[in-house]
C-alpha cells in the first residue's frame, strides 16, 4: 500500500507561493525600460502564481509589464487609476472585484519625490506630495479593507523609502515626511486589523537603480548626468552594487505570502546597508 506521504508527493506539485491569490498593484507600470518597483512586483508575483490586477495613471506604461507577466505564464489585467482620487480608486477596486471576485493582497507602490525644503518648496507642491505619497495609501486601504474584512483575510504591503528614516543625500522634505508617514500608518493599521486576519507591513527601499532614476531624478539632482548621479548614490551603499526593483519585489513577496504569516506591523529595509552607516 502506498503511504499517504508518498502518494501526496507524487500527485501534488508546488504551485507557487501566491498560487491563485489575487494581487492588486498600484503603479505597476514604469516610466522607462527596466525594473521599476511596480513592474518587478507584478512580474515576480505572477511567477509565484498570483493573478495580478495592475494599474497605472498612464495605461501605456503597463504594456511592457503585461508582456512580461504573460511570459511568466500567468494572468495580468491592466487598469487605469489616479490614486489621489477616491472615486478613481473606488472604480479600480470595483473592476478588480468584478474580474476576480476578491483581493488577497494590496501593494501600494505609487510615489515620487520633489526637491527642496519648506522655504524653497511651494505650498502647492507640498500638498501634491502629501496626496501622491501618503493620502493615496489611505484611500486605497479605505476602499480595499472592506473586501478583506468580508473575506476574513488579506495582506497589505506598502512601499516607503529610506528617506522616511534618515537623510539620504538631498533635501526632499515632503517626500521624507510622507514616506515616514507611510511607515507609521502601516504600523497603526496592522494593530487595528490584526484580529481580523489582515496583515500590514512595509518595504523600505533605499537608493535603487530604477527607470525613475534615469528619467526624473537625474534632472533633479545631477543636471541630467545619469552616470554622475549613479556614482553619488553608489558611494552611500556599503554593498558593491546597486539593487533594482527586483529586490523590492522579493521583499514584498515574502510579506505577501504565507511564509510571513506571523509578521505584521514591521518593515523590511532593502538598501544594501546604507541606512546603518554612521557616516
Domains and CATH numbers, the chain: 17-269 (3.40.50.720)
Three-class SS state of 14: coil
Q: What is the pLDDT of residues 74-104, one digit of tens each?
A: 999 999 999 999 999 999 999 999 999 999 9
Selected catalytic residue, list 53, 175, 193, 254: 175
Q: What is the pLDDT of residues 233-277, one digit of tens each?
A: 888 899 999 999 999 999 999 999 999 999 999 999 999 999 998
Long-range contacts of 131-137 (CB under 8 A, 24+ apart): 131/84, 132/83, 132/84, 132/178, 133/174, 133/175, 133/178, 133/179, 133/181, 133/182, 134/178, 134/181, 134/182, 134/185, 135/84, 136/26, 136/83, 136/84, 136/108, 136/110, 136/111, 137/108, 137/182, 137/185
Q: How far is CA 103 from the centre of its chain?
A: 16
Q: Residue 209: its pLDDT value, please?
A: 83
Q: Residue 29: which of 78, 99, 82, 91 has the closest Cα?
A: 78
Q: Residue 66: its pLDDT value, please?
A: 96
Q: Residue 145: which of 134, 157, 136, 156 has the closest Cα?
A: 156
Provide the edge-to-edge strand list for the sheet that holds 105-108: 76-80, 51-56, 22-26, 105-108, 154-159, 198-205, 267-270
Q: Residue 106: which of 165, 225, 226, 23 has the closest Cα?
A: 23
Is residue 175 flagged as an active site residue? yes
Q: Residue 151: which of 203, 99, 193 has the closest Cα?
A: 193
CB neighbours of residue 146 within 10 Å: 10
Three-class SS state of 154: strand
Distance CA(162)–CA(75), nearest Å, equals 32
Distance CA(116)–CA(177), nearest Å, equals 12
Residue ranges, the chain, pLDDT below 50:
1-14
Eight-state DSSP code of residue 1 = -
What Rg value do the Cα atoms of the chain yield, rounded? 19
Amino acid at each position: 500500500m502506498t503511504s499517504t506521504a508518498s502518494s501526496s508527493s507524487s500527485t501534488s506539485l508546488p504551485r507557487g507561493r501566491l498560487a491563485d491569490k489575487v494581487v492588486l498593484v498600484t503603479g505597476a507600470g514604469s516610466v522607462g525600460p527596466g525594473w521599476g518597483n511596480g513592474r518587478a512586483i507584478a512580474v515576480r508575483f505572477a511567477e509565484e502564481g498570483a493573478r495580478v490586477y495592475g494599474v497605472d495613471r498612464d495605461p501605456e506604461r503597463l504594456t511592457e509589464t503585461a508582456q512580461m507577466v504573460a511570459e511568466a505564464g500567468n494572468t495580468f489585467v491592466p487598469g487605469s487609476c489616479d490614486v489621489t482620487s477616491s472615486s478613481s480608486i473606488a472604480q479600480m477596486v470595483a473592476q478588480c472585484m468584478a474580474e476576480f471576485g476578491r483581493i488577497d493582497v494590496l501593494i501600494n507602490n505609487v510615489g515620487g519625490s520633489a526637491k527642496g525644503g519648506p522655504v524653497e518648496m511651494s505650498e502647492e507642491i507640498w500638498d501634491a506630495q502629501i496626496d501622491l505619497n501618503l493620502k493615496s495609501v489611505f484611500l486605497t486601504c479605505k476602499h480595499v479593507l472592506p473586501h478583506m474584512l468580508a473575506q476574513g483575510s488579506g495582506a497589505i504591503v506598502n512601499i516607503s523609502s529610506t528617506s522616511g528614516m534618515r537623510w539620504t543625500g538631498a533635501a526632499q522634505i515632503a517626500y521624507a515626511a510622507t514616506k515616514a508617514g507611510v511607515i507609521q500608518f502601516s504600523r497603526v493599521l496592522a494593530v487595528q486589523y490584526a484580529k481580523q486576519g489582515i496583515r500590514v507591513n512595509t518595504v523600505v527601499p533605499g537608493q535603487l537603480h530604477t527607470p525613475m532614476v534615469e528619467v526624473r531624478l537625474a534632472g533633479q539632482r545631477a543636471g541630467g548626468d545619469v552616470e554622475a548621479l549613479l556614482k553619488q548614490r553608489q558611494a552611500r551603499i556599503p554593498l558593491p552594487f546597486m539593487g533594482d526593483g527586483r529586490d523590492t519585489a522579493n521583499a514584498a513577496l515574502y510579506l505577501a505570502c504565507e511564509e510571513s504569516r506571523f509578521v505584521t506591523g514591521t518593515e523590511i529595509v532593502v538598501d544594501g546597508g546604507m541606512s546603518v552607516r554612521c557616516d
